[in-house]
Amino acid sequence: MNVESVTIERLGAQGDGIATINGEALYVGFALPGETVAIRRTGSRGALVSVEEPSSARTDPPCRHFGPQGDRCGGCSLQHLDITAYNDWKKQLVNDALSARGIDADIKALITCQPGSRRRAVFSARAVKNGLVLGFNQTGTHIIASIEECAVLSPAIVAALPGLRKLAGILAHGGKPFRIQVLESLTGLDVAVDGIGKIREKARQDAIGQALTLSYARLSLGTEILVEARKPVLKFAGIDVLPPPTGFVQASTEAQEAMIDIVGAHLNGAKRIADLFSGCGTFALPLARQAAVDAAENDGAALKALDQAARHTPGLKPVTVERRDLFRRPLSTAELKKTDGVVFDPPRAGAQAQAREIAASGVSKVAAVSCNPATLARDLRILIDGGFRLVSVLPIDQFLWSPHVEAIALLER
């Protein structure tokens, strides 16, 4: 395959450098705008061979697993971009998504998270001929890159890698890949293995023994708890919550607390708040200090954790919970009649149906939280067309060095 030189013009939404060849985009991973690079081209992709003229924004990546050569982890895209240019790019991702929907927004400075602050991870693992591989998939493949370090994850999770590899070796069978989700709680690691299928009793007992030896707080097989030495505990603005196995929580504690503060300040003064796609209560529980809260969520285990936390936390205003599929059955305008504030934090698919109901309601303030700027922009367009004014948008980088970015949009009638 021939080597050719190209000049990179801009960064794409996935962090690839983009060159234009014969009027068509060519995507080159690990390349930066303004650089001349040598590549080997396959279709619309260019594999980086060398950087002939580097950008002044290029910097040394902090992790040995990052880069174009060898069995490299695909978890990060932009460790080679200096932090100022990187922060500008993250903010631009949000701006571009809103602009595509004709939305002119006051986008605030990026709220950053530090390296080593991510408290949860989902590793891939698989038995191989000479042992076991545990890590993250290489970019664009199902090949697992074995990792020994990670600049994104908390030190406690990185230190646990040898033990997790041993645990995976106990449970692995048949060569099929499976997942290990790890959450750093205040009482220890909460580890859940999923996709492994049925295991023999000896493997089950050996895994329990390994979890106890390593002092995990809890070990689960899917949603089945194998052993719970201590209940995993998280705090949402000082409120204790016991999350269910594999339950969704924000990736970073510092991002979580910043988001709670932003949403709480915006909805201050509301007497009744709906928290939609509430999860374990990241927003519902702190908001209940200032208003009555109605929480809706389709994950029964998460909703149970929220309810239990509300019942055991003194000083909260009334909190109601309802298990509900808000994609199929969003809260209607009639159900929102007594609600004056709403926060919603849906999965990446967004909250299109729910946004339509909110737009037609009498709700006065909305905080829209999203990890997908494209679906956020779509939902904001619905709310704006329904009579809301977009006050501001705050991007939050709790997915460090990746092409993902969280954002909170604040709206009022």
Distance CA 167, CA 209 (A): 10
**Strand 3-7 relative to strand 10-11, pairing:** unpaired
- Asked if the domains at 3-58 and 88-114+251-412 fall in one CATH topology, the answer is no
Given 73, 113, 280, 371, the catalytic residue: 371
3-58 falls under which CATH superfamily?
Answer: Nucleic acid-binding proteins (2.40.50.140)
How confident is the model at residue 198, as a pLDDT? 87
DSSP letter assigned to residue 198: -
The token pair that represents 75 in the structure block: 């978890």
Q: What is the pLDDT of residues 380-394, one digit of tens each?
A: 999 999 999 999 999
Distance CA 290, CA 272 (A): 9
> According to the annotation, is 294 in a ligand binding site?
no
SS3 41: strand
Q: What is the pLDDT of residues 348-366, one digit of tens each?
A: 999 999 999 999 999 999 9
Distance CA 361, CA 119 (A): 37
How confident is the model at residue 142, as a pLDDT? 85
Q: What is the CATH number of domain 88-114+251-412?
A: 3.40.50.150
> According to the annotation, is 52 in a ligand binding site?
no
How confident is the model at residue 368, as a pLDDT? 98
> According to the annotation, is 277 in a ligand binding site?
yes
User: What crossing angle do the helices spanning 83-100 and 373-385 adopt, rounded to 10°?
Assistant: 40
SS3 16: coil
> According to the annotation, is 250 in a ligand binding site?
yes
- pTM value is 0.94
Distance CA 247, CA 193 (A): 13
CA angle 283, 348, 257 (to 5 degrees): 30
Distance CA 170, CA 203 (A): 6
- Domain ranges, ordered by start, for the chain: 3-58, 88-114+251-412, 120-228
**Strand 45-53 relative to strand 24-28, pairing:** parallel
Give the amino acid at 193: V
**Cβ neighbours, 10 Å, residue 413:** 14
The stretches in the chain having pLDDT less than 70 are 1, 70-71
Phi, psi (rounded to 5 degrees) for 387: 110, 5
DSSP letter assigned to residue 399: S
The CATH architecture that domain 120-228 belongs to is Beta Barrel (2.40)
Per-position b or e across 155-164, b if 16+ CB within 10 A of its CB: eebbebbebb
DSSP characters over 127-180: EETTEEEEEEEPTTSSPEEE-S--SSB-HHHHHTHHHHHHHHHHH--TT--EEE
Q: Is 394 exposed, middle or buried (0-12, 13-18, 19+ CB in 10 A)?
A: buried
Q: Is the dihedral of CA 240, 245, 248, 251 positive or negative?
A: positive
Nearest to 195 by CA among 153, 144, 262: 144
Residue 293 contacts residue 307 (beta carbons within 8 Å): no
Distance CA 79, CA 60 (A): 8
- Whether 150 sits among the annotated catalytic residues: the reply is no
How confident is the model at residue 70, as a pLDDT? 57
Q: Is 303 exposed, middle or buried (0-12, 13-18, 19+ CB in 10 A)?
A: buried
- Beta partners for residue 81, in sequence order: 58
Distance CA 387, CA 135 (A): 47
